Amino acid sequence: MIETLIHALHLAGTLWMTGLVLFVAVVHYPLMAAVGREAFVAYEKRHVSRTGLIVGPLMLTEAATAGLILTRQVTGGTIGTLGGALSIAGIVLLAVCWGVTFIASVPQHERLSRGFDEATHRGLVAWHWVRTVAWVGRSIIAVWLAVLSNA
């Protein structure tokens, strides 16, 4: 029962984040350039605060459940299985997602909160695609792990 709940929360968090980052990559970030310089600082600050309300709990849920899945496989002696390999790959991709978020995206948003800068915006969009690809990979892994946990 607890195993099913952990995998369900993990799958839900990962799929929600993947959908969100795809929307941001295709719609939201590209449209930031059209906000206009006069309104941009206020827009950017609202964007960051509102996005954090959604993304924070999802990222924490995803990370906690990914860690629980991996821990349960290590303590259960199943780390050498396909599920173990997928869990490790998922954790690596999660590290990429979090790394890009805190090493690239947060500083770029901080720069943009002082005013629109074309080069910073281009960097934000480009680095976000790294996160997007990593989260799509995480979704594939999360679905696979959920299937394996019910097999």
Question: DSSP of 39-94, one letter per residue?
Answer: HHHHHHHHHHHHHHHHHHHHHHHHHHHHHHHHHHHHHHT-TTSHHHHHHHHHHHHH
Per-residue model confidence (pLDDT) at position 3: 85
CA gyration radius, the chain: 17
Q: Which pLDDT score, from 0 to 100, does residue 13 have? A: 96
Please give the pLDDT value at position 151: 61
State the chain's mean pLDDT as an integer: 94
For the segment 53-110, what is each residue's pLDDT rounded down to a tens digit?
999 999 999 999 999 999 988 887 777 788 889 999 999 999 999 999 999 999 999 9
